[in-house]
Amino acid sequence: MMKELKKLVFATNNQHKLEEARAITAGKFELLSLADIDCHDDIPETAPTLEGNALIKARWIHDRYGFDCFADDTGLMVDALGGEPGVMSARYAGPGHDSEANMKKLLRNLEGQTDRKAHFSTCVALILDGKEYLFEGRVDGTIADTPAGENGFGYDPIFIADETGRRFAEMSADEKNEISHRGRAMRKLSEFLAD
């Protein structure tokens, strides 16, 4: 008899993130989206840190909907820009979550810069049986001069991972999940949940 998988809500409306998370956690637990629990709230992300925003989102779902859940926040930190866009990565060019505009603004701000070092960080906040846990993932790289590649989302066409020398957008989903910040944070979460 197959044991029923534990239900866990991923507090995101981002289809790309959901697909990545389902691929990484397949078979370990049943991953529900906000739509699956009929949550259409505009959850505020007002903290100055990735950890803070991830906790805000996880607590929102846990407190209002009663589910065990996790939420993530991700930022791209560029050394030459003092860590920008950072916590504002998704809204760098304005509130519309416009990936194209965000990338263009970043490339504009880096014009003439020789130091193009950057890293992606993801923080995952889990609330399980009333307890809070944090998991982090990081990948180092550089920002390319121009976008390339067909895959991924967000800043993937301009982020070159140190480990592969390729842009995230030039990798398959599996290749990216293997080394990405979110992949690393999700595997820590997954290993924790497996124990």
Cβ distance 127 to 54 under 8 Å? no
Give the residue ranges of DSSP H helices in the chain. Answer: 15-25, 50-65, 99-109, 173-179, 181-194
Cα angle 32-61-7, degrees, rounded to a multiple of 5: 30
Under 8 Å CB-to-CB from 89, ≥6 apart: which residues?
74, 75, 76, 102, 154, 155
Catalytic residues: 73
C-alpha span between 21 and 69 (Å, rounded): 13
Reading the block at residue 3, the tokens are 């044991």
Cα angle 117-106-89, degrees, rounded to a multiple of 5: 90
